[in-house]
């Protein structure tokens, strides 16, 4: 008797739950229909871009699996056999590995150390110039190289650094020194790479700091004036703390890209004489992948590169959050 | 009193150093650019012997003549022009179309779409997987790859969205929708006309990107007829192939080397003229773009 009642109770309970779920489901579907009805036009507007990202960003992400396969063109991405970490192991044990790491990290750390502070210094100095016209001229001229293409930039470097008649060597010649083959000597490659970048982008990079400086509360400057602060003291105590959050964010972003040394410039500056210093991960991926058609191996190297970047980005972001309360997310 | 004297003295020293450093920076950036200009119209022998420093020597238009006779450069110019115009049109259309929904507070897919976009900023398939997709879509070695790849940049979408958030009041649509205005009509009749400033910024960002594009052509184009200007420039500037191999009208190797040196300077100028003409505009709008981007990255 009791058993039957229990069973009945359970059944009714179950049917009640079922009804509730049904009602819930219905309202959920209704909600979706309602939202879609309200927003379908907005979704349609976004659709072309969504399709673009699916095709050219998410579909390639699906293709990343060939890093763990032996890609065979006729079998396609899905049909090719799995090989595990074979390509990664091959990369880690190849003689190229340490050279690529050394060159890539060497260039990008050098770039960070030399290239990061210069726009900040420029912005601080520009911010202190009273002469509006001079400021404008400096800005106009130093922003300009940013718009030059990498091909033109490297072309200019070949011209200016030519050991035969480049103006840099003519200048060195004035002091009775022998001319230097900057682009044919691995020793100079990093410096040439980094400082051409500084030449091209330092002025442009200062804009964002100038924007941050213009956002500082003017009362602070007035108070500093009343207190008799010198310009240097003003920079140190007001300007630098004022641009700190901007600098930290940019630093995080830069560190997150530390393995991405610009392919184009390295590729264009590379020649058989300096290849020892100029072969970086990006140029190697290109050569292995497109020139030698080792698709899986090249993809594995690329994936390794991306993963290192993400790890760096996340950890620097965490550190920055702890240390300075500024972070990307 | 004493402190103020000390202060003004210290400030004076600071000013002197400041102006010196900035003048030096100005010179270091400007001189190479200036040198290219004067060298392009100078006698190549004078340039090679280091006689050209401040003013052009033995003014000649020979280099430019050679450049204008070179069919490769014309073809490259034409191709780049087309890629830039069509590509930028696609860029602007897609970017504005997705930026508008993202700018609306009441849009239900906003959060999801932002994450969908942000992921692509930090993670990508890489060279070969992207190459395989392009190949599967039969875009390889075609005109399309130059205008479709890179059709939307997430960074630019964020800039456009931020602009729309700040410049198109939510109530504007509410009012329009009462009169039966749909999002489509609102987007075309209200949003776009009110977004001229941001469209200018985006046009310049994307346009310069197309004009300077090199890597995409290197990877995907095999047909010489499709080569953009930057690929031609590379063969002249970096690979030293100054002469059209089809045209054997230069008598000897020495003369050829001389011409080669001469046209390098001119080619840099010719390739940069459109950008130079736009530069005053560029500077204004690009700076604006950086500002908008920095407000809410």
CATH number at residue A290: 1.10.3720.10
Q: Establish if B113 belongs to a structural domain.
A: yes
Q: CB contacts < 8 Å between A and B, how many?
A: 256
Domain ends where: A53, A79, A105? A79
CATH number at residue B192: 1.10.3720.10
Q: Establish if A38 belongs to a structural domain.
A: yes
Domain ends where: A35, A57, A79? A79
Q: Establish if B186 belongs to a structural domain.
A: yes
B146 shares its domain with B208: yes
B260 shares its domain with B161: yes
Contacts of B38 in chain A (CB under 8 A): none
- Please say whether the beta carbons of B182 and B86 come within 8 A: no
| Total domains, chain A | 2
B33 shares its domain with B93: no
Q: Establish if B133 belongs to a structural domain.
A: yes
Closest by CA to A105, choosing from A324, A295, A265, A280, is A280
B30 shares its domain with B123: no
Q: What confidence score (pLDDT) does residue B245 get? A: 47
What CA–CA distance (Å, rounded) separates A253 from B113?
22
Contacts of B297 in chain A (CB under 8 A): 249
Phi and psi based region of residue A65 (left: phi greater than 0; alpha: psi -120 to 50; beta: remaining): alpha
Q: Establish if B54 belongs to a structural domain.
A: no
Q: Establish if A153 belongs to a structural domain.
A: yes
Q: Establish if B91 belongs to a structural domain.
A: yes
What CA–CA distance (Å, rounded) separates B228 from B243?
17
A268 shares its domain with A309: yes
A91 shares its domain with A182: yes
A162 shares its domain with A209: yes
Chain A: closest CA distance from residue B172 (Å)? 16
- Please say whether the beta carbons of B59 and B209 come within 8 A: no
A169 shares its domain with A308: yes
| Structural domain boundaries enclosing B8 | 2-40
Q: Establish if A73 belongs to a structural domain.
A: yes
Q: What confidence score (pLDDT) does residue B5 get? A: 67
Inter-chain contact A148–B130, Cβ cutoff 8 Å?
no
A60 shares its domain with A94: no
Q: Establish if A278 belongs to a structural domain.
A: yes
Q: Establish if B57 belongs to a structural domain.
A: no
Helix (H) or strand (E) holding B271, with range, is helix B253-295
Inter-chain contact A152–B233, Cβ cutoff 8 Å?
yes
B129 shares its domain with B208: yes
| Total domains, chain B | 2
B162 shares its domain with B217: yes
Phi and psi based region of residue B247 (left: phi greater than 0; alpha: psi -120 to 50; beta: remaining): beta
Give Cβ neighbours of residue B7 (< 8 Å, ≥ 6 apart).
Answer: A228, A229, A230
| Structural domain boundaries enclosing A199 | 86-324
- Please say whether the beta carbons of A295 and A66 come within 8 A: yes
Q: What is the pLDDT of residues B180-202, one digit of tens each?
A: 888 899 999 999 999 988 898 89
Q: Establish if A329 belongs to a structural domain.
A: no
Q: A147, A227, A282, A284: best mutation site toward chain B, by most B Cβ within 10 Å?
A: A147
A162 shares its domain with A194: yes
A6 shares its domain with A106: no
ipTM: 0.88
B223 shares its domain with B280: yes
| pLDDT tens for the 329 residues of chain A, in order | 444 555 555 555 555 555 555 556 677 888 878 877 778 899 999 999 999 999 999 999 999 999 999 999 889 888 899 999 999 999 999 999 999 999 999 999 999 999 999 999 999 999 999 899 999 999 989 988 998 999 999 999 998 998 877 888 888 888 888 888 898 889 999 999 999 999 999 998 998 899 889 888 999 999 998 888 888 899 999 999 999 988 988 888 888 888 888 899 999 999 989 999 999 999 999 999 999 999 999 999 999 999 998 898 888 888 888 877 777 77
B18 shares its domain with B83: no
B175 shares its domain with B217: yes
A188 shares its domain with A310: yes
Backbone angles phi, psi at B222, to 5 degrees: -115, -30
Give residues 76 to 135 of B whose Cβ lies within 8 Å of A.
93-95, 97-98, 100-102, 104, 107-109, 113, 116-117, 120, 122-134
Inter-chain contact B22–A285, Cβ cutoff 8 Å?
no
A67 shares its domain with A202: no
- Please say whether the beta carbons of B279 and B149 come within 8 A: no
Q: What is the pLDDT of residues B257-294, one digit of tens each?
A: 777 777 888 899 989 888 878 887 777 777 777 777 66
Q: Establish if B52 belongs to a structural domain.
A: no
- Please say whether the beta carbons of A254 and A116 come within 8 A: yes
Q: Establish if B48 belongs to a structural domain.
A: no
A107 shares its domain with A33: no
């Amino acid at each position: 008797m009791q058993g039957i009642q229990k069973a009945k109770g359970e059944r009714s309970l179950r049917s009640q739950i079922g009804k509730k779920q049904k009602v819930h489901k219905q309202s959920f579907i209704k909600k979706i229909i309602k939202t879609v009805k309200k927003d379908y036009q907005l979704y349609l507007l976004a659709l072309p871009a969504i399709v673009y990202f699916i095709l050219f960003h998410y579909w390639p992400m699906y293709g990343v699996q060939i890093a763990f396969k032996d890609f065979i063109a006729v079998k396609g991405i899905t049909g090719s056999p799995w090989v595990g970490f074979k390509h990664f192991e091959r990369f880690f044990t190849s003689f190229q590995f340490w050279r690529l790491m050394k060159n890539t990290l060497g260039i990008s750390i050098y770039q960070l150390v030399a290239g990061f502070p210069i726009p900040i210094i420029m912005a601080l100095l520009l911010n202190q110039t009273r002469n509006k016209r001079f400021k404008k001229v400096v800005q106009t001229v130093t922003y300009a190289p940013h718009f030059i293409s990498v091909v033109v930039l490297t072309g200019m470097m070949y011209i200016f650094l030519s050991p035969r008649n480049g103006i840099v060597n003519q200048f060195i010649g004035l002091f009775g020194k022998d001319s230097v083959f900057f682009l044919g000597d691995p020793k100079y490659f990093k410096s040439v790479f980094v400082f051409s970048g500084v030449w091209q982008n330092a002025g442009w990079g200062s804009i964002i700091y100038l924007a941050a400086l213009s956002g500082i509360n003017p009362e602070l400057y007035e108070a500093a004036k009343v207190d008799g602060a010198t310009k240097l003291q003003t920079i140190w105590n007001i300007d630098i703390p004022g641009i700190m959050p901007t600098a930290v964010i940019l630093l995080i972003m830069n560190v997150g890209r530390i393995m991405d040394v610009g392919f184009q410039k390295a590729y264009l500056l590379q020649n058989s004489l300096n290849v020892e210093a100029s072969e970086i991960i990006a140029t190697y991926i290109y050569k292995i992948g497109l020139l030698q058609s080792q698709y899986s191996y090249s993809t594995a190297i690329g994936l390794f590169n991306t993963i290192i970047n993400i790890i760096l980005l996340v950890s620097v972001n965490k550190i920055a959050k702890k240390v300075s309360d500024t972070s990307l997310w | 009193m004493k402190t103020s004297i000390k202060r003004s003295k210290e400030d004076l020293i600071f000013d002197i150093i400041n102006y010196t450093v900035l003048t030096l920076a100005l010179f270091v950036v400007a001189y190479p650019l200036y040198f290219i200009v004067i060298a392009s119209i100078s006698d190549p022998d004078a340039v090679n012997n280091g006689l050209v420093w401040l003013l052009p020597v033995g003014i000649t238009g020979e280099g430019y003549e050679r450049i204008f006779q070179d069919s490769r450069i014309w073809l490259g110019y034409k191709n780049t022009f087309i890629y830039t115009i069509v590509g930028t049109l696609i860029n602007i259309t897609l970017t504005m179309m997705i930026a508008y929904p993202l700018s609306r507070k009441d849009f239900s897919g906003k959060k999801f779409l932002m994450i969908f976009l942000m992921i692509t900023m930090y993670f990508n398939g890489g060279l070969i997987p992207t190459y395989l997709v392009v190949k599967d879509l039969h875009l390889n070695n075609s005109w399309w790859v130059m205008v479709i790849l890179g059709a939307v940049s997430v960074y630019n979408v964020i800039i456009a969205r931020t602009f729309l958030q700040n410049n198109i009041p939510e109530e504007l649509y509410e009012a329009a929708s009462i009169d039966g205005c749909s999002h489509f009509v609102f987007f075309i009749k209200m949003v776009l006309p009110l977004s001229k400033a941001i469209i200018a910024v985006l046009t310049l960002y994307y346009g310069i990107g197309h004009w300077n594009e090199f890597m995409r052509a290197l990877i995907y184009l095999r047909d010489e007829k499709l080569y953009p200007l930057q690929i031609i420039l590379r063969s002249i500037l970096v690979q030293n192939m100054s002469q059209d191999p089809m045209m054997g009208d230069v008598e000897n190797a020495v003369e050829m080397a001389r011409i080669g040196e001469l046209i390098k300077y001119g080619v840099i100028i010719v390739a940069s003229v459109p950008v130079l003409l736009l530069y005053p505009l560029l500077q204004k709008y690009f700076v604006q773009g950086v500002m908008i981007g920095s407000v809410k990255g």
